[in-house]
Structure 1
Amino acid sequence: MTGAFDDLLDANEKYASTFTHSGLSGRAARGLAVVTCMDSRIDPLGLLGLTAGDAKILRNAGARVTDDVLRTLVLAVYLLGVDRVLVMPHTDCRMSKSTDEDVHNLIAADYGVDTRSLEFQTVPDQRAALRHDITRITSSPYLPDDLVVGGALYDVHTGRLQSVEL
């Protein structure tokens, strides 16, 4: 793994030289899991006032509660100390600006790749999608009834969170 990743390996050497997190356990110290988007403008720990070891961060395109997110939440709740979940999509999300069909057509036209076997779970209505995703968590037979679940929309232009009532 050289060449294209040299900058990252160099940065890691600097990071490792002052590394201080070796004493952390795998448990979420603040009992929190955050489901958010993969968007690189989001710093989930920083915007929530958290530090390494405080929370489990689950990221995917659009901050969607997929089957894999549910699987991961089950592990986080029962094995890693999570007792509350925040689902946190964001403003100016590429997934909220297109339909799945638009994305398939764009990728086919620009790159010649047929992605129609994939479901991208685009988000035409972020608040409706957020309510749906929270319901997926709260109605899961694999998660405890007393799991605290909330939703908030992160504004990538102001850094502020807006709680979304369900």
Structure 2
Amino acid sequence: MADFDDLLEANRAFADSFNLGGFDGVAKAGIGLVTCMDSRIDPLRMLGLSHGDAKIFRNPGGRVTEAALEALVLGSHLLNVQRILVVPHTRCAMASRSEAEFHALLDEKTGQDTTWQPIHVITDQVAALRHDVMKVRSHPLIPETVKIAGFIYDVDTGLLHQKA
């Protein structure tokens, strides 16, 4: 498909010098990370990590969803995750509009009613982060030995600020 030729060409160049084969897939640094899908976030570099050091789960807003919890349970039992960070970020779109405003934008873009699609907006980012961290801490399948914390990543400075 011509629509993806640039990416396939880049992949071939990547594969020409690929040296990551044979890796067992465990988190070498023992890190599990839930963060936003925002392209301003470079999850490994922001924590000083390298390929293979962490298990990363991304979604809009960096929320601890059921799918994120599934990833954290598997990571903590099967993939060497010993520390979990939940990291939303400043200037997040999910914290900037109401669900109605998102639907109005989507309705305009798609030309159809989008209210059937849930949009999980965040009205209080710090409260949501603390709630998400408690969801992980209190999950019966996350071992008590796993360290869990919540941070807000500042997309303008690159700094993490612990909030939970």
Q: Same fold (TM over 0.5)?
A: yes
Map 1:92-131 onto structure 2 (within 5 A). 92-131=91-130
Matched, 1:137 2:157: no
Q: Give the deviation of 1:83 after TM superposition.
A: 1.3
The residue aligned with 1:13 is: 12
TM norm structure 2: 0.95
Structure number with higher helix proportion: 2
Q: Give the deviation of 1:23 after TM superposition.
A: 3.2
Q: Distance in 2 between matches of 1:118 and 1:78?
A: 33
Matched AA of 2:18 = F
Q: SS state of the match for residue 85, structure 2?
A: strand
Q: SS state of the match for residue 56, structure 1?
A: strand
Q: Give the deviation of 1:51 after TM superposition.
A: 0.4
Q: Give the deviation of 1:34 after TM superposition.
A: 0.7
Matched AA of 1:33 = G
Q: Give the deviation of 1:161 after TM superposition.
A: 1.2
What RMSD, in angstroms, separates the aligned Cα atoms of the two structures?
Answer: 1.2
The residue aligned with 1:58 is: 57
TM norm structure 1: 0.94
The residue aligned with 2:156 is: 157
Q: Give the deviation of 1:143 after TM superposition.
A: 1.4
Aligned residues: 164
In structure 2, runs of 5+ residues without a counterpart are none
Q: Give the deviation of 1:115 after TM superposition.
A: 2.7
Matched AA of 1:125 = D
Q: Give the deviation of 1:156 after TM superposition.
A: 0.8
Of all paired residues, the percent bearing the same amino acid is 46
Q: Deviations over 1:128-166 (max 9, x none)?
A: 1100110111111221122211111111111111121x3
